[in-house]
Amino acid sequence: MTTLQAGFGFALDAALEAGRPPEDRGSGRDDVRLLYTDKATGRTVSDGFRRLPGLLRPGDLLVVNDSATLPAAVWMRRLVVHFSTDRGDGTWLVELRKRVGGHHEQYSGGIPGELLPLPGGATLRLEARHTGRLWIARMNVSVPRYLGKHGVPIRYSYVDRDWPLDRYQTVFATRPGSAEMPSAARPFTTAIVDRLRERGVTIAPITLHTGVASPEVDETPYPERFRIGASTARAVNAARAAGGRVIAVGTTAVRALETAVDGDGVVKAASGFTEHIVTPAVGVRAVDGILTGLHEPRSTHLSMLSAIVDNDVLASAYHKAIAERYLWHEFGDVHLIA
């Protein structure tokens, strides 16, 4: 599988990896920092997330992902199973990882037909490899019900303990199905949402259930289930027709919108599995900006951002984020490009 790369790389200091939610670092969910890159000037400034309403304009539209996070990890004595994607035919995509103490790492084992006994008496059958790290697998019980009883949120090595599931939900989360939190919306609170509406900024939902990332190698995103309703499609088209900007909250919202836009830039209601990958070569038609987290070096997410803003401007913003000690990952700071 091809690994896409943005036009720049950098070394990420482990000290910049947020290992705890901000509300457990002694502040509020919306106390994170906000890096703001102005597309028109190419200038990047430091700000706080609570000032987001003032950085947007009346008539702008925020498109948010309403997918809720599943407790998608099951820890066993030797392995950890990450449940990624409900394939809709009774099978799921899963990733097996080797348990190493309180963490886990890549695991290449498993054979077709193998039965894995899970905690609580359930059994997972590996049916076939889907990719080098993902299996098509089948449970002998309902996966959502099983995860609700035996699963915990997926975490990687920069998070040293399990946090309650509510730490992995956004204020917009209503439709369970994501293996990992659509984290760009994590800093939003009801108070911020109220201030955005008072400002004249509207909010519309899409659904995209995220799959599992790979911390060891950045892979091209695989198909993910999404839905754009008719009301959201109308809101996007109306905002653009009136001169407002469409700001996607998170890369998931970009992927969903760019899947459903036609050659004239009109977004239509759509659902199913998207295989669309946003790159600088493909470009964007539906979105004008993005609110997102800070992404790993040479990741496909950076490639997506380079489709929205000039690559040199993006690289300059990241140098500023590193110099000013912004925090990475789902519990970290955010970046507005608009």
pLDDT averaged per 10 residues in sequence order, the chain, 338 residues: 53 92 92 97 98 98 98 97 97 97 93 97 97 95 97 95 97 98 98 98 98 75 95 98 98 98 97 95 96 88 93 94 96 98
| Separation of alpha carbons 207 and 177, rounded Å | 9
Reference 135, options 201, 231, 68, 222; nearest CA is 222
- Structural domain contains residue 187: yes
Residues 23 and 134 in one domain: no
Q: How much is the pLDDT for 215?
A: 64
Model-level pTM?
Answer: 0.94
Q: Are 114 and 136 in contact (CB under 8 A)?
A: no
- Structural domain contains residue 2: no
Of 152, 178, 196, which residue constitutes the final position of a domain? 152
- Domain of residue 105 covers 73-152
Q: How much is the pLDDT for 4?
A: 38
Q: How much is the pLDDT for 299?
A: 78
Residues 193 and 302 in one domain: yes
Q: How much is the pLDDT for 3?
A: 37
Residues 21 and 133 in one domain: no
Of 126, 152, 178, which residue constitutes the final position of a domain? 152
Q: How much is the pLDDT for 126?
A: 98
Q: Are 254 and 278 in contact (CB under 8 A)?
A: yes
Domain count, the chain: 2
Residues 229 and 136 in one domain: no
Would you call 128 helix, strand, or coil by DSSP? strand
Of 152, 181, 215, which residue constitutes the final position of a domain? 152
Q: Are 34 and 336 in contact (CB under 8 A)?
A: yes
- What are the φ/ψ torsions at residue 208 (nearest 5 degrees)? -145, 115
Q: Are 245 and 289 in contact (CB under 8 A)?
A: yes
Residues 84 and 203 in one domain: no
98 DSSP β-pair partners: 79, 105
Q: How much is the pLDDT for 5?
A: 47
